[in-house]
Amino acid sequence: MIRGGEVYAPEHVGARDVLIAGERIVQIKEDLEAPRSLGVQVVDVSGCRVVPGLIDPHVHVLGGGGEGGPATRVPPISLTDITLAGVTTVVGVLGTDNVTRSAMALLAKTKGLRLEGVTAYMYTGSFHYPPSTVTGSVKRDVALIDEVVGVKTAVSDHRDSQMTVQELARLSSDARFGGMLGGKTGIVHVHLGGCPGGLGPVNDVIRRGGIPVSQFLPTHVNRSPELLEQGMDLVRRGGAIDLNPCEDEGDTISDVATLRDGGVDLTRVTFSSDGNGTLCRFGEEGELVGYGVGKVSTLVEAFRAIVESGTLPLTDALRLFTGNAAEVLGLPGKGQIGEGMDADILVLDGDLKVDKVFALGRLMVDGGRAVAKGTFEP
């Protein structure tokens, strides 16, 4: 029982006790009586906020990078890189490298993370076309593999496959129909590069008819003001967009303020960390001085910045990192604190820092320290 915290489900519920049994939340009530006969363990979190575990819909769980040669391939992610960041659900992606990395390896890593205790999904496909898949077909991957929520692809990037509109339409249709057979959304997750085309290819596919705007979740939409404008237009037509935290928190805050002031439906906006991919480090003259690794923890930092700056109320900010992704991707049991939902719970201290993390009912982080480790973590 998580006792006495201020529950945000994401909507503000008030001070409640949350009873977990196994992997689920079974009861949420004021002053719950702990059934002693069951030997209930009580965790007092008074003074803290109890919120859903964060959902990160774009993480390079296998490691991204490699474009600077074999020494620049990022190693696979560790369990605690995820849990210490308050994240309880990740969706894995392949990045630009689909030569030395495969959809099969991504599926194995996704299964591994599940066994280590968090919820993990993946997109089939990668940056390139024809897509990398597990079964040889996007349609079959989405229809038959539990872990696969949809397909990833890339447009308007100098490293992409220069797909034709016809090819993007075919790929989207395969994901959509696979989704219908598998009872999923079959989302098409589109990496947007920095080339001038922007969202153009996606809009071309939507204009042809047949594939609804809601099928797409383009990402890196706040790469530039122009792209963000195109993204807002997509949301106004019923689409959804994914943003990344910027290196400078002020830029993240300003992007969210632009969405808020533009009157777009903020429930159609998600945030992902793009974690565990490469970050190029540049010197004062703009020269490449080294590589870093993107962190999943940028997500909770962005959340805190959005709330502390007063850009959005806590509940609205929380949705960008929890419920919206569950809704857009179709992740059952996720993104909300409610009876019958998965017991993915994040306890934030007074400064909105990660204090405790429960993933599927199991305590992973306590007092900001990892108490559950991945297989190869010391």
Residues contacting Zn ion: total by CB under 5 A: 2
User: CB neighbours (10 Å) of residue 36?
Assistant: 7
Q: Three-state SS for 51?
A: strand
What's the rounded Cα separation, in Å, for the pair 282 and 330? 38
Least distance in angstroms from the C-beta of 159 to Zn ion: 12
Query: Residue 357: which residues within 8 A CB-CB, separation 6 or more?
Result: 53, 83, 84, 86, 88, 345, 346, 347, 363, 364, 365
**Marked catalytic residue, from 274, 342, 344, 355:** 274
Please name the amino acid found at residue 198: G
Least distance in angstroms from the C-beta of 276 to Zn ion: 9
107/169 with CB nearer Zn ion: 107
255/342 with CB nearer Zn ion: 255
Of 339-378, which residues contact Zn ion (CB under 5 A)? none
160 labelled catalytic: no
Can you read off the two tokens belonging to residue 333? 């049991």
Site string for Zn ion, 223-262 (x = CB under 5 A): ----------------------------------------
Candidates 14-22, 195-203, 267-275, 369-377 — which segment interacts with Zn ion by CB under 5 A?
Answer: 267-275
Least distance in angstroms from the C-beta of 357 to Zn ion: 23
Residues in the chain, total: 378
The string of DSSP codes covering 195-239 is STTTTHHHHHHHHHSSS-GGGEEEE-GGGSHHHHHHHHHHHHTT-
Least distance in angstroms from the C-beta of 92 to Zn ion: 10
- 160: contact with Zn ion by CB under 5 A: no
Can you read off the two tokens belonging to residue 201? 């290819």
Kind of pairing, strands 288-293 and 278-282?
Answer: antiparallel
242/274 with CB nearer Zn ion: 274
Can you read off the two tokens belonging to residue 96? 């630009």
Candidates 29-37, 72-80, 247-255, 274-282 — which segment interacts with Zn ion by CB under 5 A?
Answer: 274-282
Candidates 141-149, 243-251, 277-285, 303-311 — which segment interacts with Zn ion by CB under 5 A?
Answer: 277-285
Candidates 8-16, 41-49, 137-145, 275-283 — which segment interacts with Zn ion by CB under 5 A?
Answer: 275-283
Least distance in angstroms from the C-beta of 127 to Zn ion: 9
Do 374 and 77 meet the contact criterion of CB atoms below 8 Å apart? no
274/327 with CB nearer Zn ion: 274
Of 113-142, which residues contact Zn ion (CB under 5 A)? none
15/280 with CB nearer Zn ion: 280
Query: Residue 278: which residues within 8 A CB-CB, separation 6 or more?
Result: 64, 65, 67, 68, 72, 74, 291, 292, 293, 294
- 274: contact with Zn ion by CB under 5 A: yes
- Where does residue 187 rank: exposed (0-12), middle (13-18), buried (19+ CB within 10 A)? buried
95/335 with CB nearer Zn ion: 95
Q: Which residue is nearest to Zn ion (CB)?
A: 274
Least distance in angstroms from the C-beta of 122 to Zn ion: 13
What's the rounded Cα separation, in Å, for the pair 33 and 173? 51
Question: What residues make contact with Zn ion under the rule CB under 5 A?
Answer: 274, 277
Catalytic residues: 274
